[in-house]
Amino acid sequence: MNDFQHINSPEGLEQLIERYFDGMTTVEEEALLRHALAHCPWSSDAIDEAKMVMGYFAAHSHQQRQQTIKGKRQLFISIAASIAIILAVGGYALWQQQQPSDVCIAYINGLVVQDDDKVMGLVADDLNMMDHAGNAMSDQLSSLGEALELDNE
Amino acid sequence: MKRIIIIILTCLLTTMAVMAQNGLNINRLFDGRYKKAAGATEIIVTGSQAREIGLTVYHSVSVTDKTQAEIIENLVVKDGVQAVDKEVEYRNGQLYYGFYVLSRQHSSNRYIFFLNQNLARKAPKNNVTLIYMEGKVNADKIKKLIRK
């Protein structure tokens, strides 16, 4: 291990690669080899082959990480979509519940009137009454405006 | 993930706010108390008949009992405080006419009309009317509706 602690030549690296492929390296040496291959500027058949092999492992672990992230993302999206669907269905149910059903009824002195025309006639009477009161207010405002205009002339 | 949680929380809070908003003071008057009362008229129109006049809900109460008139006026005035727009006329310190545009709810406009005919100058009548209306129509159309 000590021989390879400071790899400062391609030959040193190749020796370590050879030991690696012979299955003679320790865990520390393997870590050193990975580090050296990741950072060395040299190129040779043995070094390139080792880079490819190590690179494959690096790429493989990266792929696994990506798959894990993708899996988690899909899980979050599924949860979010499920919640969105629940909210939408709940909202629709709430909206449906709030939609008034067909009712057209009047109670006059305790008597029930269910004839649509009669009830709508009563509605019209109510609205007319409000109209007269609203008009009275408008008329009053108009009169006030006219009085102010006259006063200013 | 944080963004999803924020969106979900916002949706929940909005739903809770909308649900918490629904209570109008005048709703207390629509609990059925006038359905069998002498000297009272209650009208409820929803669904297709209401849609014919551009509304989803029409609910009115008219009473001749002066004590009830006072109760109705108080509740209308309380709801009027929350109104986004209003036209009111007081006579002798009492509400004579009120038209209130309330805040929208469930994408519907809401209106309250109030009239105390006891305070009318011409031909006063012992009658107080409250109308609650709900629908997509705007305030101008509501005013046109009462002028039909």
Question: B41 near A106, Cβ under 8 Å?
Answer: yes
Q: What is the pLDDT of residue B59?
A: 94
Judged by CB atoms closer than 8 Å, whether chains meet at A103 and B1 is answered as no
Judged by CB atoms closer than 8 Å, whether chains meet at B42 and A107 is answered as yes
B16-to-B11, B21, B55, B103 alpha-carbon distances in Å: 9, 9, 26, 17
Note whether residue A80 is domain-resident: no
Q: Which of B51, B58, B63 to mutate to test the interface with A (most CBs of A within 10 A)?
A: B58
Number of separate domains in chain A: 2
Q: Which residues of A touch B46 (CB under 8 A)?
A: 100-104
> What element of type H or E holds A84?
helix A45-98
Sequence-distant (≥ 6) Cβ neighbours of residue B139 within 8 angstroms: B85, B101, B109, B111
pLDDT at position B114 over 50: yes
Q: Of A63, A90, A116, which marks where a domain is finished?
A: A63
Residue A45's pLDDT band, with cuts at 50, 70 and 90, is confident
The predicted complex's ipTM stands at 0.80
As a whole-number percent, the residues of chain A with pLDDT over 70 amount to 73
Q: What is the pLDDT of residue B78?
A: 95
Q: What is the pLDDT of residue A118?
A: 92
| pLDDT, averaged across chain B | 85
Distance CA B146, CA B144 (A): 5
Note whether residue A27 is domain-resident: yes
Q: Which residues of B touch A120 (CB under 8 A)?
A: 45, 49, 52
A152/chain B closest Cα distance in angstroms: 25
* Full-model pTM: 0.58
Residue B27 carries which DSSP code?
G
Q: What is the pLDDT of residue B19?
A: 46
Q: Which of A123, A135, A139, A140 to mutate to test the interface with B (most CBs of B within 10 A)?
A: A123
| pLDDT, averaged across chain A | 79
E runs forming strands in chain B: 40-46, 57-63, 85-91, 94-105, 108-116, 128-135
Distance CA B131, CA B112 (A): 6
Q: Which of B10, B29, B41 to mutate to test the interface with A (most CBs of A within 10 A)?
A: B41
Interior/surface letters B57-71, b for 16+ CB within 10 angstroms, e for the rest: bbbbbbbbbeebbee
As a whole-number percent, the residues of chain B with pLDDT over 90 amount to 59
Average pLDDT over residues A48-59: 72
Give the length of chain A: 153
Average pLDDT over residues A57-80: 75
Residue A1's pLDDT band, with cuts at 50, 70 and 90, is very low
As a whole-number percent, the residues of chain B with pLDDT over 70 amount to 83
Note whether residue A55 is domain-resident: yes
Q: What is the pLDDT of residue A147?
A: 57
Residue A105's pLDDT band, with cuts at 50, 70 and 90, is very high
3-state DSSP assignment of residue B123? coil
Show the domain range for A30: 2-63
- Domain edges within chain B: 25-146
Look at phi and psi of residue B76 and say left if phi exceeds 0, alpha if psi is from -120 to 50, else beta: alpha
pLDDT at position B102 over 80: yes
Q: Is B113 on the interface with A (CB under 8 A)?
A: yes
Question: B139 near B85, Cβ under 8 Å?
Answer: yes
